[in-house]
Amino acid sequence: MPPENQKRIAETEVLRHIAREWKINGLQGWTEYQTNFTTSICQWDGIYCNELNTLVKIELPRLGLTGTISAELSVLSDLEIIDFSENMLTGTIPLEVKRMSALKGFNVAFNKIHGAIDGFLPSLKMLNASHNELNTILPNFGLTSTMEILDISYNRLGGEIPSTVGAMEMVKHLDLSFNQFIGTIPHSFGDMHDLKGLFLNDNRLMGTIPHTLLAESSGTSFQKKLEYLHLHHNDLSGTIPEGLSSHLQLKELYIDGNKFTGEIPLDICNMNLNGFPEMYSGGLEGSNGCNTVACPVNTVSPNGMFPCKHCTENEFSPYLGRDKNCFTLNEEVILQSLYTKTNGPMWKNNTGWKDKDICKFFGVRCNENGNVVAIELSDNGLTGEIPDLLGMLAYLEYLDLSSNKLDGTLPSDLRFAPLQYLDVSSNRLEGHVAPMLCMKDEINGNGIGGTFDCDLISCAPGTYSPIGRATSKVIAQENGQTNIQCQPCNRSTSRFLGAKHCGTIRLDRDEIAISDFFSYESNLMLALIVLCSFIATLAAVIIYRTRKVRQNHLLHIQNARRELGGYDTESCCTDVTESQHALRIKVRKLQADDDHTFCNDDDHSCAFSPSCSSRRIDGLELATLNEYEDETNSIISTNSRTSSLMRGSTASFTGRSISSDIGSSSVRSRSSELWLNAPNL
């Protein structure tokens, strides 16, 4: 049979499989899966072939399709365009599909696809995966240098935007809006010289507009092409750079809903942006060209632009383009906002917070005039987010919210309060300290000697110190104290601001890690108590005793065996090793012929019997892997079973291949090992 016929048969089988899996009805060709396929696939609805009768495009949008995207699509090796948009597809995008060498356009917008967005070949020019449930973007994403259109808006993507996105030098349309990105706008975005539309709105980005986005810094080609710049609804701060006016083709500039201060440069006001006619540059009462970009300071509007309304007495708006209400300056209202947004009724101590006298609120101190000067609510069970309004407390000098369970980001609005001391360590705050807050004088000694350092506010994610921040070198020298600096985490990680220790938080190959919700200075005894608490939850079915022999411990697990009318006891060896920040407990099953009274120091390959089965007790699955042949001689974690022991703790059974030569044959078996990591709490 000619190769082209074999290929067409294979392609037909793939489409038959898709038609059957997705139950496609009402389309020519596709419905024949219920009988026999007789129509040439080039005549099927949604299938397009070129002049050589080669299948190059498949378009099946808006058909209510359900199911997953089949990896068998990769058999259609000549496909250039795939469009499955506006359906109800689930699952992930198969790697085989991402690696299709001829693929130029891939559209799965408006589905329910999750997982990572990565792995596409450089040949891809258009990717639209918007309005899905994607939750991971890898650091090397963006290395497809030929990409022209990328739309991954309206997903659940978080973390920092990879700087490698800027490597897409040919991209014309980049839409990352309506996600959960944090951090700053990468400077590498200025390398995208063909960019016409950049949409970063509705994320949690902070920092300033990078100078590389300004036409004067990016060359004449970038200057001529940028038409749409959407930065609204983020946490961006600083001032609006005048260099934006050099983008001669700019039609839309949306910056509202951020924390920009100052004024709109006049050159930008005169560009007639955002669809407003030229007469709005003063032709209507209360309007001008600046208002069509953003309302000025101390004014607000529902959309952050014209028409703008002035704040009333006892209200204030320090930002351009404020699209909410003006900030209140009423201290009682501000404190009640803190109480409400941090779940005040569940605080450990909320004495007085329902009264009218704010100076009698627990944790609040006032000056002689009754103004709030200090809030001390450390280790008080606060949850939720820190309200922006706290920055409007005009006399607040001391704020301690450490050792709670606050999440979200650290509000840059705190820069408006006259803070001298700020402690938000040991919470779950993400992102970075806003640059404008880093530049605030006096706070924690910041600015003394002309030195400004974000670490004085809070240690960045991936770093730690015993107090969750650095101390001023100048103050430390003057007082004869030890200067404390934020140190990088090495093998472990710290994903939150203000960490006092590093704790690993992910499974990497066979190493199980524990999150960093715990304090570094907590002692080893508490760690042992937590481990014992875990074992106690299994007490109904597990009899536990330990015997210390040669630094090893013996663990017995007794299982009821109805068919035997009694119990079957399994014995395991455990050893405990200590590292700087963690205890590691390794449990090994003894062989039937091993001595069950002690564990040998060199006993490193005890295997669970193949007759052992999985057991689920109190939500923890104790799973064993039966012996089977394996081609490798290393620990493999892809088949590991992981179960939650407690918040922040994990355990996993992993398999280790063991080789033993018998004559001319080699027998490879896999032994199960339970690993449990816990921090030095």
pLDDT digits (tens, 9 = 90+) for 447-487: 887 788 999 999 999 999 999 999 988 887 778 788 899 99
What is the C-alpha separation between 547 and 575, in angstroms, rounded?
11
3-class secondary structure, 202: coil
pLDDT band for position 297 (50/70/90)? very high
Strand blocks (E) in 438-595: 463-464, 487-488, 552-561, 566-578, 582-589
Q: Does pLDDT of 350 surpass 80?
A: yes
**What does the mean pLDDT of the chain come to?**
76
Token pair belonging to 578: 């200590």
* Sole residue written with tokens 């934020």: 486
Mean pLDDT, rounded, for 164-187: 93
Residue 616 in this model has a pLDDT that exceeds 50: no
Pick the closest to residue 580 from 677, 458, 471 (CA basis): 677
pLDDT band (50, 70, 90) for residue 121: confident
pLDDT of residue 326: 92
**R_g over Cα of the chain:** 31
Q: For position 397, what pLDDT does the model report?
A: 97
Residues across the chain = 681
- pLDDT value at residue 368: 96
Q: Residue 616 carries which side chain, given as an amino acid letter?
A: R
Ranking 60-69, 177-186, 361-370, 623-632 by mean pLDDT, the lowest is: 623-632
In angstroms, the first-to-last Cα distance of the chain is 69
Continuous H helices in 453-593? 473-479, 524-536
Split at pLDDT 50, 70, 90, the class of 548 is: very low
* pLDDT score of 596: 39
- Give me the mean pLDDT over the 339-347 stretch: 97
Q: Using one digit for the tens of pLDDT, what is the confidence trace for 413-450?
A: 999 999 999 999 999 999 889 888 998 888 998 888 77
DSSP state of 257: T
Entry pTM: 0.69
Q: Each residue of 28-48: pLDDT tens digit?
A: 878 776 666 667 889 899 999
Structure tokens at 266: 């006049």
Mean pLDDT, range 232-255, rounded to an integer:
91
User: What is the pLDDT, as a whole number, of residue 646?
Assistant: 36
Strand order in the sheet with 206-207: 206-207, 235-238, 259-260
Q: What is the pLDDT of residue 209?
A: 93
What residue spans define the domains of the chain?
Answer: 524-679
Going by pLDDT thresholds of 50, 70 and 90, the confidence category of residue 371 is very high
Residues 134-151 pLDDT 10s: 999 988 887 677 899 999
Distance CA 559, CA 566 (A): 9
Tokens in use for 668? Answer: 């490879």
Q: Give the pLDDT band of residue 212 (cuts 50, 70, 90).
A: confident
Least confident of 50-54, 493-497, 562-566: 562-566
- From 332, 167, 271, select the one nearest 281 (Cα to Cα): 271
Number of alpha helices (DSSP H) and beta strands (DSSP E) in the chain: 9, 39
**Mean pLDDT in residue range 576-602:** 44
Q: What are phi and psi of 559, to 5 degrees?
A: -115, 135
Residue 283 CB neighbour total at 10 angstroms: 10
CA distance 44 to 32: 10
pLDDT attached to residue 41? 87
602 vs 212, more confident: 212
> How many C-beta neighbours within 10 Å does residue 653 have?
21
pLDDT in tens, 498-517: 999 886 433 333 333 334 43
What is the SS3 assignment for 570?
strand
DSSP H helical segments within 243-371, as ranges? 266-269, 331-341
Q: Which of 349-353, 435-439, 619-623 has the lowest mean pLDDT?
A: 619-623
On the CB side of 197, CA atoms within 13 Å amount to 12
Rounded distance, CA 287 to CA 539, Å? 73
Q: Looking at residues 349-353, what average pLDDT do you find? A: 96
pLDDT of residue 451: 80
With CA atoms as reference, report the closest residue to 223 among 257, 183, 196, 189: 196
